[in-house]
Structure 1
Amino acid sequence: CQEAGIVPIVEPEVLMDGAHGIDTCYEVSKATLLKLYSELYAARVVLEGTILKPNMVISGKKSGKLDSPEIVAEKTIKLFRETVPAAVAGIAFLSGGQSDEEATANLNAINAIGPHPWKLTFSYGRALQAAAQKAWSGKAANVAAGQAAFVHRAHMNHLAALGKWQPALERAA
């Protein structure tokens, strides 16, 4: 990618589909990122010209546990400080099956405990689109509602990327 003038987006996602706890997610994510950066170094990738697109450190869906945003933030930043070189240009989180508000709250908590050596933002799919798709429901009459839901979620995530989101903003919409 870099030889062709393209910014590599490196996506080593650890899935949250299992019954594992947050500590298992942390350990597996750590092993994954250590291997990833070892391989990128060996390939002489210029880290300043890369974007990391990882998962957050959270318990698996089947664990029955919903980790608080503060715990997710603490574990995720601890992981990155141990594994992600400060030279990496930025980190754009995957939502990894989290609900829209859960992903926003977790991103906000991660940014609120900064500063960090990397720019931290979102690259959500489902967590950005779910409310818009539900509001739209494939009906022409609902296009405006779908668009409004998408704009709202994008704005909430923008605030979370700054560490300025609050749950009360969800109800204000």
Structure 2
Amino acid sequence: MRIALASDHAGYTLKEELKRMLRDLGHEVRDFGTHSADQVDYPDFIVPAAEAVASAQCDRGIIIGGSGNGEAIVANKVPGVRCTLCWESYTARVAREHNDANVLSLGARVIGVDIAREAVRTWLDASFEGGRHQVRLDKVRAVEERYTGPRMKKSEPAR
């Protein structure tokens, strides 16, 4: 799977840990930065990663900040992105199964490395259930299109 990875300075160390794990699991990782723990503005790194997912250059994205809140907010400004902030495996699993989340946001100051690893593995292994959840996603897409206009093509479920 092609995974976009990005963080701010607070998420840098966790990003590097997850990057190693993802590569060890056989995933292709595209690191959008930041590339140090020096203070940065998260939109500069999160938006390009979210755009890579929305344009299908990457299959999924993982973004990391101190709390993960700001990162999730800005990622969700990119049409076609469904980013959820998760803090353990249960929220990560239902983010995929019920919401077809294609970007996962993590708070490095909220969860430890081991919990983050497990949440990421769970999220990557989970599949969208469709059915009643697809009906809800169609309504979410309609809201997005009301404010941004129709997308070039209907988005496919995340892989």
* TM-score normalised by structure 2 residue count: 0.33
* Structure having the larger proportion of residues in helix: 1
Q: Which has the higher strand share?
A: 2
Larger radius of gyration: 1
